């Protein structure tokens, strides 16, 4: 819900003027400005993509992060928690964002969404590929390959 509220918010004020993140510098708001946009509840209700993450996904994330079964049971207030047969990958927590600190090798992350409206976006400025998730009420899992780009260092 949080990401949908901000991704569908207005970036102009009620007079159709741009919203600034800071009046002193006159920088325009962008995706990274917390609270810098005007919420548009009607657009936020039209959610488009829903990332399918439930309680088990978060418990598996704790498992992948190195927590033991006893700790996970305590955190979840459960009497039972069984580790999955395959150890989950910490980067596969099904969130809209992908954050990797100090990427040392190529990785593939998985995201699963349920589509509630047609959606297609370019993944990044460096990518020539579109991510297309289909159309209404379709559940889709994407494997996203992230490649390490090595830059030459100065001698």
pLDDT digits (tens, 9 = 90+) for 69-96: 999 999 999 898 888 888 888 888 888 7
Does some domain include residue 42? yes
In a domain, 96, yes or no: no
Can you tell me the distance from the alpha carbon of 102 to that of 115, in angstroms, rounded to the nearest whole number? 32
Give domain status of residue 111, yes or no. Answer: no
Domain count along the chain: 1
The size of the chain, in residues, is: 155
The three-state (H, E, C) secondary structure of 86-126, written as one string: CCCCHHHCCCCCCCCCCCCCCEEEEEEEEECCCCEEECCCC
Q: What average pLDDT score do residues 22-35 get?
A: 68
121 located within any domain: no
User: What tokens does 74 get?
Assistant: 């305590």
| Domain assignment of residue 23, yes or no | yes
Would you say residue 151 has pLDDT above 90?
Answer: no
pLDDT greater than 50 at residue 23: yes
Domain contains 60: no
- Which residue, chain included where needed, has tokens 């580790």? 83
pTM tops 0.75, yes or no: no
User: Domain of 27?
Assistant: 1-46
């Amino acid at each position: 819900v949080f990401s949908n509220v901000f991704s569908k918010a207005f970036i102009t004020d009620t007079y159709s003027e741009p919203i600034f993140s800071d009046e002193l510098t006159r920088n325009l708001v962008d995706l990274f400005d917390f609270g810098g946009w005007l919420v548009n509840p009607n657009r936020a209700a039209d959610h488009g993509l829903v990332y399918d993450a439930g309680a088990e996904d978060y418990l598996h994330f704790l498992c992948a992060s190195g927590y033991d079964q006893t700790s996970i049971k305590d955190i979840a207030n459960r009497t039972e928690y069984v580790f999955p047969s395959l150890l989950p990958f910490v980067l596969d927590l099904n969130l809209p964002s992908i954050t990797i600190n100090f990427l040392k090798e190529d990785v593939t992350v998985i995201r699963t969404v349920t589509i509630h409206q047609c959606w297609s976006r370019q993944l990044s400025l460096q990518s020539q590929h579109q991510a297309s998730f289909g159309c209404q009420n379709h559940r889709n899992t994407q494997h996203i390959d992230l490649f390490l780009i090595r830059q030459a260092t100065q001698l």
